[in-house]
Amino acid sequence: MFAGANSAVKARFRAHYEERGEEIEEAPEGYLLKRRKNYGPWLCVFGGSSFSCICILPDKILTANVGDSSALLASTHGSLRGVTATRVADLAEGVTDNGSLAADLIVEDNERVLMLTADHSPESPNEFNRMTASHPSRDGGHRPRMQMVYDNIGPDKSSCPQIFELGADGQPSVTSNGRYWKNVRQEWACLVATPPYARFHDALAFTRSLGDLHLQSYGVSHMPEVYEFNLLELCEATATACENGERTGFAIVAASDGIWDNWVFSDCMAYALGDLEGSSCSLAEGLTGEGNKRANSALMAENKRRAIANFGSQADNATSALAFIEIILADGRA
């Protein structure tokens, strides 16, 4: 799916510029170049997208993602700590441990909230090691070809502070030497950026994406990590904490960073379940088609208010999708 989607984005880029009467050429590294026919310099085609996929099956939830459009799950009751969560595959080039790994994805020490998607931040040591393996620095040493840096104001990213320092064992550790926060959770603004010698200079706020063909030639990957969550265990953990007669279940919020930049994760999930002051959402409301639309519209409206307050005219574009799952109880069991 992800390889096909990446190829489809590439084909659409080509068709778009050809429809505009521009000449298109593919570089040996696989990215696209464009120019006005018969004159002008060749320019790089830039652009891409994050992508997250959530599949709800009878006994499990499967997720796959590239980028920072995170998906979270919150329960109405109980603790989700200890529920089986497994990274079943990492399909990107350069991954050395592609086996099944147990994962603790509790968010912000809130036992009712789980992160469903993988972290593809430039601050991820796993992504540093992956890109070092797939696209090592030409200068030698245990570093990737791509620069992994804390963003600084200005177009030149070559002078930005490095995110990682290497220990005596060659393993990376995060310096936390950032320059400004990128969201209300006080996470540092960080980037992967092309090396100084690159023909074209480009940067991205995450390490995997669809369609960023130029950056993919330096180590950004279009292939996902895949996680599996035991839905039956999720239901049992929630149902056992439910009082008789109460409606119980989950909310899932999948959204772009234009949403997540404005929320502490736990607060956003509490809003989706109607537990935060001012929220008009609820599990019962979200289970109907029209109610789900109203809940999503309410979340988007509240996010817009927060985005203007937090970032003014610099607020990012925002997309969200909500899903609600009700647990049907029989004799107190799911």
pLDDT of residue 38: 79
Contact 128, 172 (CB under 8 A): yes
Number of neighbours of residue 304 by Cβ within 10 angstroms: 15
For the chain, helix, strand, coil in percent to 5 are 25, 30, 45
Which residues make Cβ contacts (< 8 Å) with residue 215, sequence separation at least 6? Answer: 48, 146, 192, 194, 202, 204, 209
- CA dist 160 and 154 (Å) reads 10
CA gap 141, 277 in Å, rounded: 52
Closest residue by Cα to residue 262 from 180, 181, 184, 182: 184
Give residue limits of the domains in the chain. 2-44, 52-118+225-327
Rounded to an integer, what distance in angstroms lies between the CA atom of residue 234 and that of residue 113? Answer: 11
In order along its 334 residues, the chain shows pLDDT tens digits of: 999 999 999 999 999 999 999 999 999 999 999 999 878 899 999 999 999 999 999 999 999 999 999 999 999 999 999 999 999 999 999 887 777 778 889 999 999 999 999 999 999 999 999 999 999 999 888 999 999 999 998 888 888 999 999 999 989 999 999 999 999 999 999 999 999 999 999 999 999 999 999 999 999 999 999 999 999 999 999 988 887 767 899 999 999 999 999 999 999 999 999 999 999 999 988 898 999 999 999 999 999 999 999 999 988 899 999 999 999 876 656 6
Q: What Cα–Cα distance (Å) separates residue 334 from each residue in 192, 237, 239?
A: 45, 9, 6
Q: What angle do the packed helices 289-311 and 265-272 form, to 10 degrees?
A: 150
Assess contact for 329 and 247: CB atoms under 8 A.
Answer: no
The values of phi and psi at residue 87, to 5°, are -80, 110
